[in-house]
């Protein structure tokens, strides 16, 4: 990527970066390993962190590529995100709600979980309710917190990139890193 004609900021979206597939596989393996064998593989959060980092890199690359080509629009960006992520999320939530309703297990708490998951704010629900991750896995949709964080980042990231411009992107990234660390 470094010496490309576009200054190294973005690559062709159709170009596959094989190493990222390996990192994605490692991330998923860490998360699954943690859930299957938590004492043997206690670093599931490392997999989540790696996956978020890869997602951030890839989505930033797409945004910068579109900006450089002069084709970036917020509406097109958000429409792509919605088409890519929302149908599967809604399908799973619908199947969960229907199945648990038929089994007689769907209660007010689960309705609340599904609503927060649909609104992409499950992470905030867990914070508001004071439930640390992993403390209570009573709801099959508890893991929607990670999708919520990703969706919230997709709301903010394009705005920051467009507002900051390429020359200040590094300063913004460092500032966000410091802010998130605090």
**What is the maximum alpha-carbon separation in the chain?**
60
Q: Check if the beta carbon of residue 165 is closer than 8 Å to that of residue 152.
A: no
The pLDDT of residue 134: 62
The pLDDT of residue 7: 41
CA angle 86, 152, 19 (to 5 degrees): 80
Look up the pTM and report it. Answer: 0.74
Q: Find the Cα–Cα–Cα–Cα dihedral 160, 163, 116, 89, rounded to 10°.
A: -80
**Tens place of pLDDT for every residue, the chain, 182 residues?**
333 443 444 445 556 788 888 898 999 999 899 888 988 888 778 888 898 889 888 898 899 899 989 999 999 999 999 999 899 999 999 999 999 999 998 888 889 999 999 999 998 998 898 877 666 566 788 889 889 999 999 988 898 888 777 556 666 666 776 676 65
């Amino acid at each position: 990527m470094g010496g490309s004609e576009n200054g190294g900021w973005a690559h062709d979206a159709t170009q596959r970066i094989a190493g990222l597939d390996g990192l994605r596989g490692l991330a998923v393996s860490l998360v699954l390993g943690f859930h299957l064998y938590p004492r043997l593989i206690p670093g599931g959060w490392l997999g989540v962190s790696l996956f978020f980092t890869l997602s951030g890199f890839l989505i930033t690359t797409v945004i910068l590529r579109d900006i450089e080509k002069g084709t970036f629009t917020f509406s097109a960006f958000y429409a792509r995100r919605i088409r890519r992520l929302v149908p599967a999320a809604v399908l799973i939530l619908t199947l969960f709600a229907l199945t648990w309703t038929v089994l007689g297990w769907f209660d007010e708490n689960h309705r609340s979980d599904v609503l927060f998951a649909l609104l992409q704010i499950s992470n905030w629900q867990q914070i508001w309710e004071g439930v640390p991750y992993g403390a209570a896995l009573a709801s099959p949709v508890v893991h929607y917190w990670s999708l919520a964080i990703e969706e919230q980042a997709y709301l903010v990231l394009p705005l920051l990139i467009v507002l900051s411009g390429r020359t200040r992107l590094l300063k913004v990234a460092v500032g966000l890193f410091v802010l998130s660390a605090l």
